Amino acid sequence: MEAMSTSGKDLATLRDTAGDETYFAGPTQSRMVGSGFSNLVSGFFRVDAIATDGYDFALMNDSAGDDRFVARPISAYIRNDNFMIYGRGFDRVDAYASGGNDVAQLFDSAGNDTLVVRNEFTKISGMGYQINARNFEATRTMSNLGGDDIVEFFDSSGNDTLGGQANTDWFNTPAYHAYFTGFNTVKARGFNGGINRIKATDVDYVISTFGTWI
């Protein structure tokens, strides 16, 4: 099936089946693909995709401009003034940033979650969900729904800084910034060279360091 919109701020909705589907979403075209079908929509201002049973995977691509990706365990979207792609109920969401200044904002679940930060790759996962954000200039992750939430980060080959004050923390590399707040435990791994610094004062979580940090 194909559907096309040529003007206005039209909305298209793509639905899954009880089987496993993949939702390929982008600013101009989006497609839901499953066993025996492929539904394509193009030119819509907004596309919503709804996933139910099965293992459903959403792959969202940004535009060449500045975009914002916002993801929670149950839903995610990427948008700017010209488009919006939204997915709900997916087991895994991968978002890819390309040109522009792109920001990702991620939120935890009520259960135990793990945030991994590594070389322009940020992943949060917990029971029944996984969200991956790649190549964003900045990521901001909030843990505020409870559970025992952990941050694991891995340094880059350049100079890295891990900073923290009270409950707001950040991790800077030459290429990107990762901010996170509300986590119980932070594990810092510094095995990739450069000068890795920790500047944490008055923090209310546990920091464990591995490798070389000063």
Neighbouring-strand partners of residue 142: 107, 181
Q: How far apart are CA 18 and CA 51, in angstroms?
A: 9
Stretch that binds Ca ion, among 25-33, 35-43, 50-58, 115-123 (CB under 5 A): 50-58
Choose between 42 and 80: whose C-beta lies nearer to Ca ion: 80
CB of 154 to Ca ion, least distance (A): 9
Q: Rounded to the nearest whole angstrom, what is the least distance from the CB of residue 200 to Ca ion in the complex? A: 17
Q: Which stretch binds Ca ion (CB under 5 A): 115-123, 140-148, 179-187, 202-210?
A: 140-148
Site string for Ca ion, 184-213 (x = CB under 5 A): --------x-x-x-----------------
Whole-angstrom distance, CA of residue 155 vs CA of residue 153:
7
Of positions 56, 75, 78, 205, contacts Ca ion by CB under 5 A: 56
Per the listing, tokens 């944490």 go with 200
Residue entry with tokens 């505020």: 144
Q: What does 44-103 look like in DSSP terms, one character per residue?
A: -SEEEEE--SS--EEEEE--SS--EEEE-SSEEEEEETTEEEEEES-SEEEEE--SS--E
Pick the stretch among 66-74, 86-94, 132-140, 197-205 that binds Ca ion (CB under 5 A): 66-74
Check the CA dihedral 124-110-53-39 and report its sign: negative
Q: Pick the binder of Ca ion from 26, 49, 67, 124 (CB under 5 A).
A: 67
Chain contacts with Ca ion (rule: CB under 5 A): 16, 21, 54, 56, 62, 67, 100, 102, 108, 113, 147, 149, 155, 160, 192, 194, 196
